[in-house]
Amino acid sequence: MTDLAAGRGAGLSAGRLWALLGYPGGPPAGAEVETAPPEALGPHALRRVTVRMGGAAIPGLYLCPAGPGPHPAVVYCHAHGGRFETGAAELTGGRPALQGPYGPALAGLGIASLAIDLAPFGARQGEGPEAALAKACLWEGRPLMGRMLAELHGAFGWLAARPEIDAARIGTLGLSMGGTHAYWLAALEPRVAACAQLCVLADIAPLIASGAHDLHGPYMTVPGLLAEGDMGDVAALVAPRPQLVALGGTDPLTPREARDPALARLRAGYGEGGALEVHVSD
């Protein structure tokens, strides 16, 4: 709490975060997206997409509910869990940590969703392994986290421009690594209307003090962030937009000594305004 009193994190902004991520001029522009013909997934339309940016061809899945729209939508950020074979397929196929896939459930509520493979997951396993990618990105001047968020931002831009999508009602959603990307993307992009992050929020400095930071993959490294703030400060940049935070009380990735200061920073950012909902399940 002393860091909060001293105002640590007060200088963070979307622009400063982009600079820490290796994009001092802001996110790269000009993502081009190719779409395949729709496939039926129940009453809904599933399209395979390819996002082209920065020389990469990024596969993804776009699930749109039946009806003309305009539909609200979600950028679905897939998890890690060491399941490099999964990636964007989590949207429609789920994973063991979930009761079921989110894509069809969202479509049933009239909400479209888009997920892309982040390297080295899904069809992009050949770009890995993760540690090698993280090292190469740092040599090139930006962390792997920056590359991932730039790609997600490009996907968001395409989704927001779709005629069947209500660009004012696009949220982000993810579990674990996906949860990190969900609230970072919302912090970086003011057009994100809402954010739901599951099983991830914890400040990094106390994780380093206990050694628990090493439970995370090397993707979650942003050089210089801790000199200016921590993860709770990043999540607080989403305020006053709606944000859901769900945490497991005994999750080793979010121990109390790292979870509580992050939540304190987040709550301080919201103050008396905005819509913040926090659930910690013991």
Contact 73, 157 (CB under 8 A): no
Q: What is the pTM of this model?
A: 0.95
pLDDT of the residue at 147: 96
Q: Residue 275 sits in which domain range?
A: 2-281
User: Could you read off the pLDDT tens digit of each residue along the chain, which spans 282 residues?
Assistant: 344 444 566 789 999 999 999 999 999 987 899 999 999 999 999 999 999 998 889 999 999 998 888 999 999 999 999 999 999 999 999 999 899 999 999 999 999 999 999 999 999 999 989 999 999 999 999 999 999 999 999 999 999 999 999 999 999 999 999 999 999 999 999 999 999 999 999 999 999 999 999 999 999 999 999 999 999 999 999 999 999 999 999 999 999 999 999 999 999 999 987 799 999 997
For residue 280, the surrounding DSSP H or E stretch is strand 276-281
pLDDT of the residue at 4: 45
Closest CA to 199 of 145, 275, 251: 251
pLDDT of the residue at 54: 83
Total tally of structural domains belonging to the chain: 1
SS3 80: coil
Q: What is the 3-state secondary structure (H, E, C) of 26-84?
A: CCCCCCEEEECCCEEECCEEEEEEEEEECCEEEEEEEEECCCCCCEEEEEEECCCCCCC
Q: What CATH number should be reported for the domain holding residue 262?
A: 3.40.50.1820
Pairing between strand 112-116 and 56-64?
antiparallel
Burial label, 222 (beta-carbon count in 10 A; 0-12, 13-18, 19+)? buried
